[in-house]
Amino acid sequence: EVRRLVRDLLLLAGVVFLGVVFLFQPFKVEGASMQPALADHERILVNKLIYRLRPVERGDVVVFWFPGDPHRSFVKRVIGMPGDRVAIRNGQVFVNGEVLDEPYLISPHRRGDHHRPVTVQEGHYFVLGDHRSVSNDSRAWGQVPERLILGKAVLRYWPPRRMGTIQ
């Protein structure tokens, strides 16, 4: 009876371990570009399988391989979807001519922050950091191909006082 219980617990632990390894990947946030949602040196879990089950959505916080150097990864928020027309005027983001509601920003509008209108290519995404004044994102290096998206940032686990889901 005890032997069976130990075997079952070990089997369960193995299944949980494999699930975590294949479903999630830990990621360390570097820099302040996603504040206040994510801060420098925080650690998060990335769901690697979610985009096989459903498409990327506007507002998702994604981790992806940097298009200019596939050995570096970034975390940003999806703003523009394939086919969208994205523009920034005086710090305000417009998607298909409509102002994008961005409640996650600290100070949403910076005078003088402009980006010429672009149409997001099929199979690509326009991503921005939440802390726009320090973020290196699609405004600087263009759109992110879907194939470079590692997954969706879903959970902050370090530091423990900020543990929780990522919005």
Catalytically active residues, by annotation: 33, 76
Question: Side-chain half-sphere of 75: how many Cα atoms within 13 Å?
Answer: 32
> How many Å separate Cα 7 from the centre of its chain?
38
Q: Are 90 and 114 in contact (CB under 8 A)?
A: yes
∠ at Cα 14 (153, 164), nearest 5°? Answer: 25
